[in-house]
Amino acid sequence: MNIRIGNGYDIHRLVVDRPLILEGVEIPHELGLLGHSDADVLTHAIMDAMLGALSLGDIGHYFPPTDSQWAGADSLILLSHVDQLVRERGWRISNSRIIQVLDAAHRHKSSTLNSRHTSDGCHPELPTERRGR
């Protein structure tokens, strides 16, 4: 059995007048994440780990912020593209572990985060462990 492990990391600044989207779920909040796409930082970190595990570069290579077609893009669609890249090479995700670090003033405990994998259509079977800090 061949196994590859990728580590993903991403950070976006919280600002006013932007939606807060985490793993495809919009969280009601007065602040949102700044970015060229929907700035879904957790999904970006997952893509970063997937690409890193196969040495395929980073998400900026595939979805550059200079390309207007990705402006406001749904990161779950970007994840589908990355998933396709991984599957084309004969690999698949067997597990992921996500650690989200939020400023204590911006923590949001949401059960919707735990149900995300039923709606993204990408990895409904993906066992995911989440930890919040």
Residue with Cβ nearer Zn ion (45 or 86):
45
Q: Nearest residue to Zn ion, using CB? A: 44
Nearest in space to 28 (alpha carbons), one of 98, 100, 110: 110
Q: Least CB distance from residue 14 to Zn ion, whole Å? A: 13
Residue with Cβ nearer Zn ion (10 or 23):
10
Q: Should residue 123 be labelled a site residue for Zn ion when binding is judged by CB under 5 A?
A: no
Q: In this chain, which stretch among 7-15, 17-25, 96-104, 113-121 interacts with Zn ion, using CB under 5 A? A: 7-15
Q: How far apart are CA 43 and CA 69, in angstroms?
A: 18
Q: How far apart are CA 31 and CA 33, in angstroms?
A: 7
Q: Least CB distance from residue 36 to Zn ion, whole Å? A: 9
| Relative orientation angle of helices 41-53 and 75-88, to the nearest 10 degrees | 10
CA angle 65, 68, 74 (to 5 degrees): 75
Residue with Cβ nearer Zn ion (79 or 93):
79
Q: In this chain, which stretch among 37-45, 61-69, 88-96, 106-114 interacts with Zn ion, using CB under 5 A? A: 37-45
Query: Which residues, 6+ apart, have CB-to-CB distance to 132 below 8 Å?
Result: 99, 100, 102, 107, 109
Interface with Zn ion (CB under 5 A), residue from 14, 20, 42, 44: 44
Binding site for Zn ion (CB under 5 A): 10, 44
